[in-house]
Amino acid sequence: MLIFSKKILVAIDGSPQSDKAAEEAVRMAAASGKRFKSKVFAVLVLPSMPAPSFTDFFPSPPATERPDWEEKRQRIFYVIEKAAAEADVLLESVVVYGDAAEEIMAFAESEEVDVIVIGSSGSGRIKRTLMGSVSTKVALHASQSVYIVR
């Protein structure tokens, strides 16, 4: 386990796998101790909005501008916010739009993250072979260390 990581990115999507990854990221940050205070970035990637077409008179608003967004946000970030508060770990929650793997790696580059923590896909072998998984793409292409939590 990495002990001196200063910046840890954890990919969040509200699934049980991402909740496990969130708890592990907080454990890693807490293990660095008070002297090497670590920061955790919880990143939620939402799908890109399709470009409005000629027939869209009233395009739908982004997910973060809908009335029920705050309730959804609280449910998705609940585990990591609770764990970070209990462990006294600095946490920054971020929502971005786009391709999940690409946005995770881009955010990690821009914030100079030391390690990316991500849950395993949990999808079957055939589906993973046909579509690929976010965790596989990140593990293969990220320039940072990647910790996949099963």
CATH number at residue 105: 3.40.50.620
pLDDT at 131: 45
- The answer to the question of residue 71 being in a domain is yes
Domain range for 101 is 7-48+62-149
Q: Provide the domain count of the chain.
A: 1
Tell the residue number behind the tokens 């390690």, with chain if given.
Answer: 115
Residue 19, both tokens: 């909740």
In our burial notation (b when 16+ CB lie closer than 10 A, e otherwise), range 88-108 reads ebebebebeeeebbebbbebb
- The answer to the question of residue 87 being in a domain is yes
CA–CA distances in Å: residue 97 to residues 32, 50, 54, 92: 31, 11, 23, 17
- The answer to the question of residue 98 being in a domain is yes
- The answer to the question of residue 1 being in a domain is no
Separation of alpha carbons 69 and 74, rounded Å: 9
pLDDT in tens, 72-111: 999 999 999 999 999 999 999 999 999 999 999 999 999 9
Q: In one letter, which amino acid is 86?
A: E
pLDDT at 58: 65
- The answer to the question of residue 138 being in a domain is yes
Q: Answer with the residue of higher pLDDT: 34 or 139.
A: 139
CA angle 64, 69, 75 (to 5 degrees): 120
pLDDT in tens, 45-78: 998 865 665 556 666 667 777 788 889 999 999 9
